[in-house]
Amino acid sequence: MLFPNDNNSGIMRVGLMGGTFDPIHMGHLVTAEEARQQFDLDYVIFVPTGSPPHKDHDSISLPEHRYLMTSLAVMSNPSFFVSSFEINAKAPTYTIDTVRHFCCGEQGSPELYFITGADAILEIFTWKEYEELLRLCTFIAVSRPGYSLELFRQTLDSNCPEMQQKVHLLEIPALAVSSTFIRERVALGKTIKYLTPEPVEQYIKNHGLYLVGK
């Protein structure tokens, strides 16, 4: 994946944001933009999952729908890109696979920042090859509405204090929106305007996504 490189240091700082994005919503976009600004990232790459190893594949939309909705959502931001790496994978992919893929690309080795929820970070010890992950990238732990950052810090300190140098906290204004909430509203025939970008809203309508019985 080639990017214009205007970074005077020569080393790009790239954020990776994975997820099912079923569908992508304003909370995802606000989080990515805030991470980009606070951590001086050159780009944020959204990586829709193809075959999530921990989810029922029958319960999520087809990969092509999720990839296209994500592409529509980010097209107005020149610092946002979408990768089909996990979508194109023939087998379930893990975070370590994705991070390794972006470690060495056509433009050298960027400084990688993996953006995920603070609650997910506390389970990192269950992730595949988590020690290698900590070596290859820095984590941005995003707070969710009602989540205790103080509890997060205490838990991290008591379980793995050495991770403090590899995990940075990012507080996001409370946006009470989730992909589940959007799917439920569509199924009930309710509006999702302003919860997801307008092109994504139109895509969902045009393809009849999330309707009961679909």
DSSP codes, 35-82: HHHHTT-SEEEEEE-SS-TTS-GGGS--HHHHHHHHHHHHTT-TTEEE
Options 3.40.50.720, 3.40.50.1170, 1.10.10.10, 3.40.50.620; CATH for 13-174 is: 3.40.50.620
Alpha helical stretches, state H, 81-123 = 85-88, 95-103, 118-121
- DSSP, res 15: E
Region for residue 160 given its phi and psi (left: phi exceeds 0; alpha: psi -120 to 50; beta: otherwise): beta
**pLDDT band at residue 165 using 50, 70 and 90 as cut-offs:** confident
What's the pLDDT score for residue 5? 64
- DSSP, res 194: T
In this predicted model, what pLDDT tens digit does every residue of 140-158 receive, in sequence order?
999 876 677 777 778 777 7
Checking if the pLDDT of 213 tops 90, the result is: no
What's the pLDDT score for residue 149? 72
Mean pLDDT to the nearest integer, 70-85: 97
In this predicted model, what pLDDT tens digit does every residue of 91-148 receive, in sequence order?
888 999 999 999 876 556 899 999 998 888 888 888 899 889 989 999 999 987 667 7
Q: How many Cα atoms are found within 13 Å in the side-chain-facing hemisphere of 212?
A: 6
**pLDDT band at residue 61 using 50, 70 and 90 as cut-offs:** very high
Checking if the pLDDT of 9 tops 80, the result is: no
What's the pLDDT score for residue 211? 94
Domain coordinates in residue numbering, the chain: 13-174
